[in-house]
Amino acid sequence: MRHRIAIALAIALLGLPTAARADDDAGKRVAYGAGSAFGTLVYAPVKASVCILGAIGSGFTYMVDSQTAGKVARSSCGGTWVITPDAVAGKESVHFLGNTAPDDGLHAAAAPTRNR
């Protein structure tokens, strides 16, 4: 079974350069698409695991501070979930962790300073 997989992989890899020579743009698109599919198959389960653990941690954090719990949840479950062909090509960045800023665009006011 391992030999068949290795042979199929070798044939696929040897066939890519000929397809790329025939139409370079189409070959790159195919390679980026394949890299995107494979990357998402590997990346998505890891990202889902981090999100689940972050949600559990966020639940415990909520008992102490609800704002921090929201940041934990946004950080662990936010960010990139799918590896796109543009990400494989380097045109787009992949963010494993999400932004912890509030979604509504309102930022907390600065703490008032005390006059001494």
Distance, CA of 5 to CA of 105 (rounded, Å): 50
Q: Are 88 and 42 in contact (CB under 8 A)?
A: no
Please check whether residue 46 lies inside any domain of the structure: yes
| 112 in a structural domain | no
What is the band of 116 on the pLDDT scale with cuts at 50, 70, 90?
very low
Q: How many domains does the chain have?
A: 1
Task: Convert the pLDDT of each residue in 18-77 to its tens digit.
Answer: 544 555 788 888 988 999 999 999 999 999 999 999 999 999 999 998 898 889 999 999
Q: How many CB atoms lie within 10 A of CB 13?
A: 9
Structure confidence at residue 104 as a pLDDT band (50, 70, 90): low
Q: Give the pLDDT confidence score for residue 5 in this predicted structure.
A: 67
Closest CA to 5 of 32, 13, 39: 13
pTM for the model: 0.61
What does the pLDDT average to over 1-27? 63
Domain membership flag for residue 3: no
- Does 54 fall in a domain? yes
Domain of 71? Answer: 24-104
How much is the pLDDT for 92?
Answer: 87
